[in-house]
Every structure is written in structure tokens, then in C-alpha cells.
Amino acid sequence: MDNKLLKELTLDFSYIFGAINQGKVFDNESNIKEFLLKSKEFQKKLVLLTEQVASTYLDIEYKREKALLTSHIQSENEITLKKLHALMAEIDKQVYLKRTFKS
């Protein structure tokens, strides 16, 4: 997360809502222009922050799904290995029995 952006958003937020709270927005043309400028800057920065949050969320979701898929694949591999070991044991048993009865 961009700390500079968060700090700027906080300052813009303070200015905007301070001006509203103090009733200074419509005092004069200069205040109106300043308020509009700060509001537009705030909106742009808020969009950037929202994009950063969305990107971070998507990265987290991707990593989570990748971990789940890896875990699932590992689980399937373990099951397959157990079946393979059981099959090998059965083959060894059959070979042993075949040799025993031939002798």
C-alpha cells in the first residue's frame, strides 16, 4: 500500500470535510474553486487507492486458489502413491506365491 497516497488522501479528506463543517465552501468564488480542485484531487487519489486495494485483493485470491490447487494435487498424488504401493505389494505377493507353488 502506498503510504504517501494514504497521507495525501487523509489531508485532502480533512480539508474537504473541514471546509464543509465550517461552512466555508460557498463563502466566495476562491473557496468554491479551491474546494472543487481538492475534491477532484481526492477523487483521483481515491480511485488510485481503490485500484491498489483491488489489485492486492486479486493477488491474495490468486495465491489462495493456487495454494488450494497445489494442496489438492498433492492430496491426489498421495492417494495415487498409496494405490501404487498397494498394487506393488500385491504384485510382490503374487510373484512370491507363484514361485512358492512352482518349487
What does the block give as the cell for 73? 494435487
Query: The pTM is what?
Result: 0.63
d(CA 72, CA 92): 30
Reading the chain (103 residues) residue by residue, the pLDDT tens digits are 678 989 999 999 999 999 999 998 899 999 999 999 999 999 999 999 999 999 999 999 999 999 999 999 999 999 999 999 999 999 999 888 888 877 6
Most distant pair of Cα atoms in the chain: their distance: 111
pLDDT of residue 42: 94
Q: Mark 63-78 as b/e (b = at least 16 C-beta within 10 Å).
A: eeeeeeeeeeeeeeee
The answer to whether 31 and 25 have CB atoms below 8 angstroms apart is: yes
